[in-house]
Structure 1
Amino acid sequence: MKLRFPVDALWAQVNKMGCSKREYSLNHRIQTPLPEIVTSKKGVDVTIDEVDTEFGLLSCNGAQVVLYIPDHGRNVDGVLKDASTGRRVHVADCTTLEQMRQKNRFQRYRAVVNVTGDFEVFGFSMLSQKSVEGTARLQVCINCLKHLNYRGYVTDPRRQSEIRRSFSLKDFFAEHSTLFRYLPSSFIERKEGYTPDWPQISENFRASKGYHCESCRLDLGSHKHLLHTHHIDGNKRNNQESNLQALCADCHRKQPLHDYMSIKSKDMALIQRLRKEQGILGSAADWDDLYKLVDPPYDGLLRYLKGAGGGKPEIGYEITDANGAVVAEVEIAWPHAKDGIVADDEEKKVLEGLGWKAKTLKVALREFREKR
């Protein structure tokens, strides 16, 4: 049934009032305000039960966060002098936080989107006999690294000292950028530092490589925006060809000196899909290929799986319907067993609705933690 509305008559009345037409678009997107946790430099005071633990990480209102206790009491003098004596910061839903919940010790923590490593602390100074505050480069909780098997912390114990020493919140946030809606403001691409002719240099260099990633060999000729030109030495003004490398967005963010690189979930999914179509991913890929190409949040779990002696999975696996349309994407999958590991409960329900067995990343990590 069609409804007729007297638009001309309405505009006649509008004109009588002396009003004029304004351009508008139904495609206009309403910008929702950013949550406080993203905009606040100091962070937000919370209790443990107010922090989300999806993916086995810590988040608030769609943003990845670091959790710590700023109050160092009478130890504050020592912490300001030597931050290694301070309380640890948490990046994952580790056994330390679990024990705090079990003991009902819901003391106040501070959740903050922090990639600098410097944290505000305060306490009572025994030297000056008054309250003091300052900043300290607090260290990451070892139990968090164990929970995530971060960079093989559990499965490759020989590297534990190196992993602790080189841990960077900047890298950690970038590696997990596909999982969260909001990213640190410092992750906005920085335009300064490049030479004025950089856009043309980059375009020419990528074209000279046939728009192929020099690391994973991915052909991005149809998606050129996902192929970057990487400065190997980190100097954005050193444009000598020997210092340049064409890398897909995923391989780029995994490089040393990648300078706050991040990647959107949809772009990572596209890269994995193209890798599968081009034969880079699939059943023929070996374990080293899987470590190199998996989305970093799943890296620790993948290393756990190999250590457990299970069958080698496929990553970036797509489930299609009878018409060939993609109906689900599984980051870690055993297609023959119809078994997979996905990011969250929503994806788990989709997979189960297709007759698959599924676990979330959070549950899978917790199961390995409890086996140890």
Structure 2
Amino acid sequence: MINQTDQMLYRLSNLNIQQQLNTYQMSTKEKLQEGSDDSTLYSRLIAVDEKVRTYEGLQTQIERTTAQNNVADSSMASIKKIFENAIQELSKANTATTTAEGIAAISANLSGIKENLYQFANTQVEGQYVFAGSNSTIKPFEKDSNGKVTYVGNNQLRKVAVEEGSYREKGVTGFDMMMYPSATAYKGENLNFNGSDRILDQDGNEWKLNSPTNDTLTKFDSNGVATTETITPITNDGLTPATYTATLPSTDGTKFEAKTSIFDLIDNTINALNKVDSVGNPISDEESKALISKSGTELNKAYDGINIAHAQLGGRNKLFENALDNISSKLTQYDILSQNIGGADMTKVAVEAKALELTYTALYSTINKTSQLSLVNFMN
């Protein structure tokens, strides 16, 4: 009888273990309570769940990038509208019927337009400046006490993962959206540029004039550190402001662009309207009209540059939209696979629960009857 009791207790213990697993599966809808329950299945489940976590991280990152891209796109659209207004204002100044008071009003309007452009150029989302280049924590455009605006970001775009091991560039830099190519030269040709222009080569590296003599162009790397590569000599026309000339290397693929800041262009236009030069000296009516006419041409070139930058931004934004759709689809598939591998079959769990109930009932009935037998009856 003692042996029979031990057997029933052993069976009861097994039933309790099975009941615990059954209860766990019903409450969590997961097949495995411990990895040791099925090591092969557990290994597969770990691999799939790792994929799920990876794609969830990618999805979160791309969603954040998409939000920033949308704000950048909206800012570019606003910049284009503001610039269209600037072109319309300047066109009025080129007509003979515009009075001196009208010219003064146009000058004031352009000053307001410059301030609006400055605000949009420093657009930020969640503490990230969208037009700063690779370091989005710095304010890309700074203004000094004289109102001169300078781009202090870089020409390198940030890269964001769109798939495991695959990255794409996001956004546009201040070089793209608030500067336009005022001059271009290729290998062996002469590049003419102003002292305030920013010089970029075909690889996006910046070349800067050496002060104080300004007779050499020095290449700077992506971190803003001067390299040993130079172009010399640099000549200037001796005027104020000076126009410089550099002869490019005779290397295949060489292409240099002189980038003029739209803020500098607006400053020059305002000066022309106010009949002063860049240092505040008065100029003649003829000189003023010539500069205003030239500014109109340059404003249209700058507007074309803004449109190109906006198109580049749109193309990059579309890549991230497609990547988000792709990541979301893969995440859904891996979620389904994870459920198929590690999810409990609730119909089977319900059947097993009912079977356990019947087994418990039968076992406890047997234990009850056995405990009621006397030693004499058991021996008989």
TM over 0.5: no
The normalised TM-score by structure 1 is 0.20
Find the structure with the greater CA-based Rg.
2
The normalised TM-score by structure 2 is 0.20
Taking CA–CA contacts closer than 8 Å with sequence separation of 6 or more, which of the two structures ends up with the larger relative contact order?
Answer: 2
